[in-house]
């Protein structure tokens, strides 16, 4: 099955005609191949999960799909699977494992996966790290922790051109975004860190670099329900971040077109594409994807709805 486009907002199909399960995902380009990682939610919503505040599915794991054209996706399987036989394990199905992001460390030759690890009540609030020799896993889970002692929920990792990588995570009960430089092996945070958007309540961070400046798209904090996006701009990942405002234009702008940001793909010829999720809280496995090419008015970022995604 070959695809020339996907319908934005729907769940997309892979080359076998099966629904793609990589929610809250991120993208790694490695040796000419795109690897799309995300939450596999291919299960019915869990009913009456103890302590769970929000609609959820049991953890299945992190799935990966590969493609060379960002349209035709091959299922590479669950590359970080849930651990069913130990209720205490961070990856037990009863836990929360969200927003996985993978970066490649050229010095160590390792693929490093970071993700949000939590309990169903979202009070554990940690980030987890896993490592693999191959982009398609299986990743070996290392541990979870609270970076520099701070709670951590929605997050992303960003690798700059110079090889320095950063963890950006919602902290202080989501009030503030913490940005910490990673160690050279990408397995830990260093003491170099800053706070951004204090009391700004930002989630779902997606960061990229254009013409030497950094842009950060994020959502507000309303759980699975959509809300207005925000863009901020900085001369360095560690700030200072200046809020540019809501980038969305047109019908549905006030809910980011009923989506939530998750990652920005730096494409060819200076083009950028925002990957978003259209969550379906009552049937999370059917949550859709919408990828929106970013438009520009000089240095001002603009997001407009597109009915389809047809590649770069």
Choose the binding region for ligand GAL from 74-82, 217-225, 251-259, 266-274 (rule: CB under 6 A): 217-225
Per-residue x/- marks for ligand GAL, 141-180, CB under 6 A? Answer: -------------x--------------------------
Q: Which is nearer to ligand GAL, 137 or 205 (CB)?
A: 205
Site membership for ligand GAL, residue 247 (CB under 6 A): no
Q: Which residues of 146-164 are buried (b: 16+ CB within 10 A; e: fewer)?
A: ebeebbbbbbbbbbeeeee
Task: Supply 251's token pair.
Answer: 């019908």
Please tell me whether residue 58 binds ligand GAL under the rule CB under 6 A: no
Q: How far is the CB of 74 from ligand GAL (least distance, A)?
A: 25
Which CB atom, from 58 or from 203, has the smaller least distance to ligand GAL? 203
90 binds ligand GAL, rule: CB under 6 A: no
Smaller CB separation from ligand GAL, 14 or 39: 39
Question: How many CA atoms lie within 13 Å of 32's alpha carbon, on the beta-carbon side?
Answer: 0
The residues, ordered by sequence, that sit 6+ positions from 304 with a Cβ below 8 Å of its Cβ are 248, 249, 250, 292, 295
Backbone angles phi, psi at 214, to 5 degrees: -105, 140
Measured from the CB atom, is 67 or 94 closer to ligand GAL? 94
Kind of pairing, strands 300-304 and 248-249?
parallel
Contact between 54 and ligand GAL per CB under 6 A = yes
Nearest-CB residue for ligand GAL: 223
Chain length of the chain: 312
Q: Is 58 in contact with 68 (CB distance < 8 Å)?
A: no
Nearest distance from C-beta of residue 98 to ligand GAL, angstroms: 5
**Residue with Cβ nearer ligand GAL (19 or 223):** 223
**Is 51 a residue that touches ligand GAL (CB under 6 A)?**
no
Q: By the 8 A CB rule, do 177 and 197 touch?
A: yes
Nearer to ligand GAL, 24 or 181 (CB): 24
Query: Which token pair is 243?
Result: 């809020």
Question: What DSSP state is assigned to residue 176?
Answer: E
Report the site for ligand GAL in 251-270 (rule: CB under 6 A): 260
127 within 8 A of 137, measured Cβ to Cβ: no
Select the residue interacting with ligand GAL from 3, 41, 99, 178 (CB under 6 A): 99
Dmax over Cα atoms in the chain, in whole Å?
Answer: 54
Residue of 83, 160, 224, 310 interacting with ligand GAL (CB under 6 A): 224
Binding of residue 204 to ligand GAL (CB under 6 A): yes
How far is the C-alpha of 265 from the C-alpha of 312, rounded, in Å?
10
> Rounded CA gap, 106 and 236, in Å?
22
- Residue 119 interacting with ligand GAL (CB under 6 A): no
Residues lying near ligand GAL in the complex (CB under 6 A): 24, 54, 98-99, 154, 203-204, 221, 223-224, 260
């Amino acid at each position: 099955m070959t695809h020339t486009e996907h319908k934005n907002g729907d769940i997309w199909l892979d080359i076998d005609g099966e629904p793609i399960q990589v929610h809250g995902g991120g993208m790694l380009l490695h040796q000419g191949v795109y690897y799309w990682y995300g939450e596999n939610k291919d299960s019915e919503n869990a009913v009456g999960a103890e302590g769970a505040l929000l609609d959820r599915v049991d953890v299945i794991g992190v799935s990966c799909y590969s493609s060379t054209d960002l349209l035709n996706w091959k299922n590479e399987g669950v590359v970080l699977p849930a651990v069913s036989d130990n209720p205490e394990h961070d990856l037990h199905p009863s836990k929360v494992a969200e927003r996985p992001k993978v970066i490649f460390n050229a010095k160590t030759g390792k693929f490093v996966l970071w993700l949000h690890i939590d309990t169903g009540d979202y009070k554990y609030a940690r980030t987890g790290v896993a490592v693999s020799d191959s982009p398609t896993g299986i990743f070996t889970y290392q541990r979870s922790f609270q970076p520099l002692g701070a709670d951590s929920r929605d997050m992303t990792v960003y690798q700059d051109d110079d090889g320095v990588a950063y963890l950006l995570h919602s902290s202080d009960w989501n009030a503030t975004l913490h940005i910490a430089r990673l160690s050279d092996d990408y397995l830990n945070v260093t003491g170099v860190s800053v706070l951004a958007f204090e009391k700004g309540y930002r989630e779902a961070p997606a960061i990229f670099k254009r013409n030497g400046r950094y842009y950060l798209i994020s959502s507000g904090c309303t759980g699975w329900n959509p809300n207005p996006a925000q863009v901020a701009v900085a001369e360095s990942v560690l700030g200072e971040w200046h809020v540019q405002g809501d980038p969305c234009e047109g019908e549905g702008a006030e809910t980011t077109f009923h989506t939530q940001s998750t990652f920005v793909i730096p494409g060819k010829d200076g083009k950028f594409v925002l990957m978003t999720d259209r969550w379906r809280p009552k049937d999370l496995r059917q949550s859709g994807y919408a990828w929106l090419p970013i438009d520009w008015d000089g240095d001002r970022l603009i997001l407009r709805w597109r009915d389809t995604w047809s590649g770069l």
